[in-house]
Amino acid sequence: MDFFTQQKTQTVPIKFIAKGQVEEFVQSKPKGLSQKLINSSFKGFKKDVFLHYSNKGELQQVFLGLEDKLSLYQAAFLVERLKQELSSKYLNTCVFEVVGLRALHDIKAFYLGWAMACYSFSMKSIKPNPKIPKLFTPNEKALSYAQSLYTGIKACRDLINLPANKMGPHDLEQQIKDLSKSLKPKISVIRDQDLLKEKFYMIYAVGKASPDRPRLLTLEWGKKSDPEIALVGKGVTFDTGGLNIKPGQWMALMKKDMGGAAHAFGLALAIMKAKLPVHLKLYVPIVENAIAGNAFRPSDVLDSRKGLTVEIIDTDAEGRLIVADALTYASEQNPELIIDFTTLTGAARVATGYDLAPFFSNNEKVELDMRHISQMAEDDIWPLPLWEPYLKELDSEIADIKNLGTGRAGAIHAALFLQEFLVNKDIDWVHFDIYAWSQNGRPGHPKGGTDQSLRAVYHYLEKRFSK
């Protein structure tokens, strides 16, 4: 993490002036600085940034506004501003230091926001000169927090951003193994025909048309005596739609259809790095939804690990099939909590747009706490209902259930479909239907693959399972 340094050199201080206290502050300062501050539009609001240069044009200090609580996005916003305003040559020689923050949660937020804004992804053979503002990070607790979470966030974003020719099923398995190696989890993989032996009929059916074979990866970490939590991620490395092929404009972004897997794994990395006291199990069904003579078809009836028969109405509603088999498996182990991450439906985007992730839970308290903690973590998520009456819209004439609902509530249908595959409906379960992509780019979330809900869930787990 080349944007953090622990070497104390000459630093440019970053200071805070609270809203409503600008005048008071100005009175106590030398004329030159106070005049400049007065002339600027700086009012102490959280979006206010003021860079103070000496008469020789050297950057001397940075001022940020402060409302009731520091926002992680203030650090991100500042990094964007520094990248715009300062040359990469200058940024290479200069180290920033945040001063005057007392509360540990503020320092943690500042460090993490800084890191998130420094993320970039490029496959250019000649890398553009990166602009990486450096932050002095003497607070060890905050540093280790930011490093744990950023490690997960970076892995999540990188995996999404890599195109499908570099991130097929084989590659995704390998990346998960490589990136987690130093943390020594137990990893096992069931591949290809073995999926049928183990009754993962739907994972096999969706992935069978690709030469890069379907698989189910399981990662286990932590003490068996700690509470077991299961993470599940949709790992469709490319979604052509299958025989119900997507039009080009809808297919264009479908390298990100393993975004759920990237989230579940990124979160697992953060949990392992931070050593949260949980017995972690990660399940990643990995397939490419490809087109070939042996592809599954609309009207096929699939068996499932749960034993339910599933009529295929649309081969493009493939994510729920592979995640359903994985959810059955995860719930057979009877964990305390199951959380799945999926880029499951276009309908979820219609409901909450690109930047707000909808989620579902069968436990009201979990839902309420998740939502509450997501606000504290500045990673907003929004509940949608598992509305039972729509379940009948998934009724099939010839099988137990069909993979596409007849009404319009696409995101709810998909969630209700998944719920049917838990072996025990009393297990606490949370389902995310995320976009996993920053459409226009915003501070802390550069354009491209991005994390949504990962930090929210991390903080939920940290709070619920801390000893």
Could you give the CA distance from residue 401 to residue 245 in angstroms, rounded to a whole number?
Answer: 22
The residue type found at 147 is Q
Nearer to Zn ion by C-beta: 113 or 319? Answer: 319
Q: How many residues bind ligand BES (CB under 6 A)?
A: 15
Residue 57 gets the label, from left (phi > 0), alpha (psi -120 to 50) or beta, of left
What is the closest distance, in whole angstroms, from the C-beta atom of residue 172 to ligand BES in the complex? 16
- Helix/strand/coil for 46: coil
What is the closest distance, in whole angstroms, from the C-beta atom of residue 383 to ligand BES in the complex? 19
Query: Which of the following is catalytic: 306, 320, 402, 455?
Result: 320
Which option in Zn ion, ligand BES, none does residue 76 bind, with CB closer than 5 to 8 A by kind? none
Which option in Zn ion, ligand BES, none does residue 207 bind, with CB closer than 5 to 8 A by kind? none
Is 345 an interacting residue with respect to ligand BES (CB under 6 A)? yes
Nearer to ligand BES by C-beta: 304 or 315? Answer: 315
Query: Which of the following is catalytic: 177, 246, 371, 442?
Result: 246
431 forms beta bridges with 340, 360
What is the closest distance, in whole angstroms, from the C-beta atom of residue 295 to Zn ion in the complex? 13
CB atoms within 10 A of CB 39: 8
Nearer to ligand BES by C-beta: 245 or 368? Answer: 245
What is the closest distance, in whole angstroms, from the C-beta atom of residue 236 to ligand BES in the complex? 6
Is 257 an interacting residue with respect to ligand BES (CB under 6 A)? yes
Helices 259-274 and 140-161 pack at an angle, to 10 degrees, of 160
Nearer to ligand BES by C-beta: 77 or 435? Answer: 435
Could you give the CA distance from residue 244 to residue 450 in angstroms, rounded to a whole number?
Answer: 28
Residue of 133, 207, 235, 319 interacting with ligand BES (CB under 6 A): 319
Nearer to ligand BES by C-beta: 111 or 421? Answer: 421
Q: DSSP characters for 440-451?
A: S-BTTB-SEE--
What is the per-residue binding string for ligand BES in 413-442, x denoting contact by CB under 6 A?
Answer: ----------------------x-------
- Closest of 379, 389, 438, 447 to residue 413, by C-alpha: 389
What is the closest distance, in whole angstroms, from the C-beta atom of residue 356 to ligand BES in the complex? 14
Is 343 an interacting residue with respect to ligand BES (CB under 6 A)? yes
What is the per-residue binding string for ligand BES in 260-299, x denoting contact by CB under 6 A?
Answer: ----------------------------------------
Question: Site residues (CB under 5 A) for Zn ion?
Answer: 236, 239, 257, 316, 318-319
Is 318 an interacting residue with respect to ligand BES (CB under 6 A)? yes
Element (H, E) at 457: helix 454-465
Q: DSSP characters for 184-230?
A: --EEEEEETTHHHHTT-HHHHHHHTTSSS--EEEEEEES-TTSPEEE
8 burial type by CB count under 10 A (0-12 exposed, 13-18 middle, 19+ buried): exposed
Q: Is 154 a catalytic residue?
A: no
R_g (Cα) of the chain, nearest Å = 24
- Helix/strand/coil for 3: coil
The Cα-based distances of 87 to 68, 119, 129, 322, 350 in angstroms read: 33, 17, 10, 48, 40
What is the closest distance, in whole angstroms, from the C-beta atom of residue 237 to ligand BES in the complex? 11
What is the closest distance, in whole angstroms, from the C-beta atom of residue 319 to Zn ion in the complex? 4
Which option in ligand BES, Zn ion, none does residue 404 bind, with CB closer than 5 to 8 A by kind? ligand BES
460 close to 373: Cβ distance less than 8 angstroms: yes
Nearer to ligand BES by C-beta: 314 or 380? Answer: 314
Give per-residue burial for 411-441: e unless 16+ CB within 10 Å, then b: bbbbbbbbbbbbbeeebbbbbbbbbbbbeee
Q: Is 246 a catalytic residue?
A: yes
64 close to 104: Cβ distance less than 8 angstroms: no
Could you give the CA distance from residue 64 to residue 49 in angstroms, rounded to a whole number?
Answer: 5
Nearer to ligand BES by C-beta: 183 or 251? Answer: 251
- The stretch among 200-208, 314-322, 382-390, 457-465 that binds ligand BES (CB under 6 A) is 314-322
Could you give the CA distance from residue 296 to residue 301 in angstroms, rounded to a whole number?
Answer: 9
Is 346 an interacting residue with respect to ligand BES (CB under 6 A)? yes
Which option in ligand BES, Zn ion, none does residue 410 bind, with CB closer than 5 to 8 A by kind? ligand BES
What is the closest distance, in whole angstroms, from the C-beta atom of residue 268 to ligand BES in the complex? 22
Question: What is the footprint of ligand BES within residues 389-418 (CB under 6 A)?
Answer: 404, 410
Residue 71 DSSP class: -
81 burial type by CB count under 10 A (0-12 exposed, 13-18 middle, 19+ buried): middle
- The stretch among 9-17, 165-173, 311-319, 451-459 that binds ligand BES (CB under 6 A) is 311-319
Nearer to Zn ion by C-beta: 316 or 378? Answer: 316
Interacting residues toward ligand BES by CB under 6 A: 239, 257, 314, 316-319, 343-347, 404, 410, 435
Q: Which residues are catalytic?
A: 246, 320
